[in-house]
Structure 1
């Protein structure tokens, strides 16, 4: 007899660029931040549009961006453009907290930090944004009360 509780995580979307895992019990949507390659930029934007549509449809308030496996082969400008596109889209949703799990790659992390700093200087974000060194810490922060 199976005694495990049913898994509450739902895969809402999955393609070669992003996967959206949603847990309705915690209202946390998990997404692995996509690899950034020149030839994928238009597909990445379409996948971000799908992410934003999903956030709106499910009224998601908590988002986990996992950058632990992200590979970046584009310049700072292209990376910043994608990050800005995502942040601007999230600003038009009900998202209240975004936790980003940092990459172990110094190169990826440096690029990401430059992009985040640029976004925060360019616009006032209507949601809290925190970086974390582990997924466990990020999930604890997201699950904590507002």
Structure 2
């Protein structure tokens, strides 16, 4: 099921697995205001549908790396107001950006009261496996 087709993001929700897949495009043509609005819309959909598992795909990184940092920070913070249990993200192809994001995620997990687990994966298949089996795997 496609959610919020008007977003910058492509979203696909599978009610059977309770996983929403969020594909993020090249953000170089979008303003920060557009990005923040779309993150708010996405987090509202996740909250309204009580979605517990999120797959974030930022594999089209190009140019506007600041946009990807804003996206990850805003989404990670917004998900604190939802029933999300697991956020799987695909590693960014830009190594410098990925390092910045990993530092931010580490700080977020250690300094803030997080009710969901964040893991980074190299492949979509690994991420979907983790999300699908996270209910039964000890330690999430």
Bin of the TM-score, shorter chain as denominator length = 0.7 to 0.9
Which one has the largest radius of gyration? 1
Is 1:97 matched up with 2:97? no
Q: Offset at 1:23?
A: 0.6
SS of structure 2 residue aligned to 1:12: coil
Matches within 5 A, 1:44-123: 44-75=35-66, 80-123=69-112
Structure 1 segments, 4+ long, off by >6 Å, are: none
- TM-score, normalised via structure 2 length: 0.83
Deviation at 1:107, TM superposition (A): 3.0
Select the residue among 3, 9, 23 that pairs with 1:18.
Answer: 9
Moved more, 46-55 or 117-126: 117-126
- Report the alpha carbon displacement of residue 129 of structure 1 after superposing the two structures with TM: 0.6
- Is 1:143 paired with 2:132? yes
Give the TM-score, by structure 1 length.
0.80
Match of 2:31 in 1: 40
Find the counterpart in structure 1 of residue 138 from structure 2: none
Q: CA RMSD of the aligned region, Å? A: 2.2
Gap regions ≥5 residues in structure 2: 136-140
| Number of equivalences | 135
Contact in 2 for aligned 1:21/1:29 (Cα 8 Å): yes
Report the Cα offset of residue 94 of structure 1. 0.3
Structure 2 counterpart of 1:5: none
